[in-house]
Structure 1
Amino acid sequence: MKRKWIKLLLFLVALGLSTIFILHDNETKPSKAKGIEQDQVVPLPTDLHPVVKERSDQLVLQAAKKGIVVLITDGFRSIEEQNRIYEQGRTVEGNIVTNAKGGESYHNYGLAIDFALETPSGNVIWDRQYDGNQNGMADWSEVVQMAKSLGFEWGGDWKDFKDYPHFQLDFGLTIADLQNGQRPDESSNVADTQ
């Protein structure tokens, strides 16, 4: 009889420990994204995030006040479009302009823009030395300073692949976060810039 009680007691202890381990394991597993159920599909954006759009518009206006015409040449990109751009210089003719495949770029989540300058004659240029407003400072550098003051990160500051026409607002989210379904709130705001 004593053996049966010992076996029952050992079984209950093992059952209790198993339950504790299972509960602890479930608590420590990260969810795919904050506030997102494991099996919930989060759609990709189809346009620029409202804050990115607003800051882009502010950049264009601030530059115009200094006599610089900024053109936003690219904003939101679909996964398919990103893959086509990625193939440039690899499987199709042209120079390599990105190291990001579809889903690996902030453009794919509506959080990035690319820009160029427009000359008085209407030419679109990416000349980082051009001083169209003739104030002794390259217009490109002036635009970069304005964009940074608006909270944008500049691709020209990157260590490996320099992307000089690129600005992004990441809202503290990595590409992995975005791929896992996290999105900045539509009303998200980055550091005040005014």
Structure 2
Amino acid sequence: MIGKTRRAGENAEFEAFAHARGQHLFRTALLLCGDWHLAEDLTQTTLAKLYAAWPKVRRADSQEAYARGVLVRTYLSHRRLRRSGERPAFGDLPEPPGSTAPAAGDPALRVTLLAALAELPRRDRAVLVLRYWEDRSVEETAAELGISPGAVRSQALRALGRLRGVLGPQAAEQLTVS
């Protein structure tokens, strides 16, 4: 009886965590992949992995950082099967129910930035999203990607250069990185 009670408590803990952090995980996944449906899949896969490892996750120093690390690794290892050359035209689709309004700022610049991010290689996109969009430290980004802090710094520098190249000189001038 004690084992069942403890497991029910763990389930309740996981459900509370999933409800509290699920939207944030989805937003990060969307920034990483640029595809609403794939972001949903990545979030669900991440939550399933977290549920399976919940006894370990609940003992982590930061459950949020653990979850974000699982999400980034899931994204980086994801290999999507292409059974068809068709791609949905997202520009013509309405916003999904429950979607949040875009962040404050220039909407045109935001759209341009998201499109440019989508053109970068996966690893570059992951470094930029974690480091600058999610505002993670070099050390946190390194831990989540499983690379050294020096590699994060050099990869971020190269990725920013590639991003500026994709954006063009006028759009790149509007970006500030501190």
Smaller-chain TM-score bracket: 0.3 to 0.5
- TM-score scaled by structure 2? 0.32
- TM-score scaled by structure 1? 0.30
More helix by share: 2
More strand by share: 1
